[in-house]
């Protein structure tokens, strides 16, 4: 389902790309002032909710205007603790250290969770950032165990890590583009242990995904279903996008970020070329608005009367900052990332003490399921703070 090319819109997009040359650098200190106030409120609200229901461990979104928290097994459970670690890193304020440790520790049981592919999100965003900043050896142990758990979902015949266990009537061995984000946990485990098996699984998954998930224009399918006995591809489509042949905005963002990270970890130029191709698809797309905060799906015929996805923009910005350190187009990537981040700060942040303390508004989670549409979502805030951190140096490390 390809977009109809609107010449006026395409021209406007090209002009917008040219304006990135004059994009202002991000004022991180200024952006952090309201962000800290918001997260202070979100922390206060979350602690109060957890005191009433100890099965809940982290905030996720607003549901009917009310703060929604999740249990540890939810795929979004690690983002809030990761945000606290980023605030500790960005502000150097020790007040963030205790809550960062507290909310990270709540996730410790997930290191043994073999029922999800999302351990990268759950464990690496939390314990990974904690270990990076503190070198706490107990965090190292959790990362290694989580990588072992994730590895159990790998099928050597298909060459990929299984994403979902649900809806067996729809697919046999589904793999979603989001799964690229969980490979960083495996790469890290090899560095921490010297065991190359984690690295080999990550590379196999990245290579197989590159082969089967992408179209000629570098856009990605959301879901690819494999035959686990033969490794053959059974079906390609979507669960959260508009249509099987459309380009779901957050999926394209995961792809950009994931292959940039894979290049960092392997120095395989195939991954760099892939990341650059995905960036080109996103940034020259005629459906991309002038502020570069995309609509939830690039092929939605309701554009411009379609919901935006600030989370996709934050992920893209963070990915572009890292990609800028590797690519010949790095200067333009960095300026574009600055533009996205400045626009998010200026136009997509919550009002003071609004949205129960979430930083960004206007994200879209799962529109086909009529779930989390035009609301704040915790992973948007996580990648926004990560992008702020990366804007200071271009890469995270």
Residues comprising the binding site? 118, 178, 238, 250, 254
Can you say which residues are annotated as belonging to the binding site for substrate?
Answer: 118, 178, 238, 250, 254
Q: Alpha-carbon distance 68 to 237, whole Å?
A: 30
For residues 220 and 252, is the Cβ–Cβ distance under 8 A?
Answer: yes
Tokens 């990761």 correspond to what residue?
82
Of the candidates 178, 182, 184, 259, the one whose C-alpha atom is nearest the C-alpha of residue 222 is 178
Helices within the chain (DSSP H only): 7-19, 28-52, 79-91, 97-105, 119, 129-134, 137-151, 183-193, 196-213, 249-266, 269-283, 310-323, 330-347, 378-391
Rounded to whole angstroms, how far apart are CA atoms 218 and 365? Answer: 22
Long-range contact set of residues 345-353: C-beta below 8 Å, sequence gap at least 24: 345/26, 345/31, 347/291, 347/293, 348/293, 348/308, 348/310, 348/313, 349/34, 349/35, 349/38, 350/38, 350/376, 352/34, 352/37, 353/37, 353/38, 353/41
Partners of 373 in the β-ladder: 364
DSSP 296-340: SBTT-TTTTSS-B-HHHHHHHHHHHHHHTTTSTTHHHHHHHHHHH
C-beta of residue 290 within 8 angstroms of C-beta of residue 12: yes
Q: Which residues are catalytic?
A: 118, 178
Q: Two tokens at 146?
A: 């989580």
Structure-token pair, residue 43: 């922390």
């Amino acid at each position: 389902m390809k977009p109809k090319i609107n010449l006026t819109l395409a021209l406007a997009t090209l002009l917008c790309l040219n304006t990135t040359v004059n994009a202002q650098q991000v004022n991180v200190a200024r952006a952090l002032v309201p962000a800290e106030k918001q997260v202070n409120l979100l922390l206060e609200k979350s602690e109060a909710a957890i005191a009433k229901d100890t099965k809940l461990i982290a905030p996720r979104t607003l549901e009917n205007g009310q703060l929604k928290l999740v249990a540890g097994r939810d795929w979004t459970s690690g983002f809030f603790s990761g945000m606290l670690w980023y605030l500790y890193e960005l502000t150097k304020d020790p007040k963030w250290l205790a809550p960062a440790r507290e909310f990270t520790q709540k996730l410790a049981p997930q290191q043994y969770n073999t029922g999800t592919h999302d351990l990268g999100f759950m464990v690496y965003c939390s314990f990974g950032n904690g270990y990076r900043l503190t070198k706490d050896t107990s965090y190292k142990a959790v990362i290694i165990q989580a990588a072992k758990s994730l590895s159990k979902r790998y099928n050597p015949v298909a060459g990929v890590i299984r994403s979902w266990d649900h809806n067996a009537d729809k697919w046999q061995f589904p793999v979603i583009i989001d799964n690229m984000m969980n490979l960083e946990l495996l790469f890290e485990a090899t560095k921490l242990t010297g065991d190359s098996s984690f690295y080999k699984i990550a590379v196999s998954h990245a290579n197989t995904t590159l082969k089967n998930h992408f179209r000629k224009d570098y856009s990605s399918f959301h879901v690819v279903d494999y035959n686990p006995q033969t490794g053959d591809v059974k079906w390609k489509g979507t669960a959260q996008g508009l249509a099987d042949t459309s380009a779901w905005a957050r999926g394209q963002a995961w792809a950009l970020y994931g292959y940039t990270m894979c290049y960092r970890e392997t120095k395989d130029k195939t991954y760099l070329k892939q990341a650059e191709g995905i960036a080109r698809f996103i940034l020259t797309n005629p459906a991309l608005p002038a502020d570069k905060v995309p609509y939830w799906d690039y092929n939605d015929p309701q554009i411009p009367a379609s919901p935006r996805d600030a989370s996709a923009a934050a992920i893209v910005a963070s990915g572009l900052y890292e990609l800028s350190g590797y690519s010949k187009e790095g200067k333009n990537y960095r300026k574009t990332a600055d533009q996205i981040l400045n626009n998010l700060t200026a136009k997509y942040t919550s009002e003071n003490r609004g949205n129960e303390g979430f930083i960004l508004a206007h994200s879209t989670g799962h529109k086909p399921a009529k779930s989390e549409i035009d609301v704040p979502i915790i992973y948007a805030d996580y990648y926004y703070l990560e992008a702020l951190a990366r804007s200071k140096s271009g890469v995270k490390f």
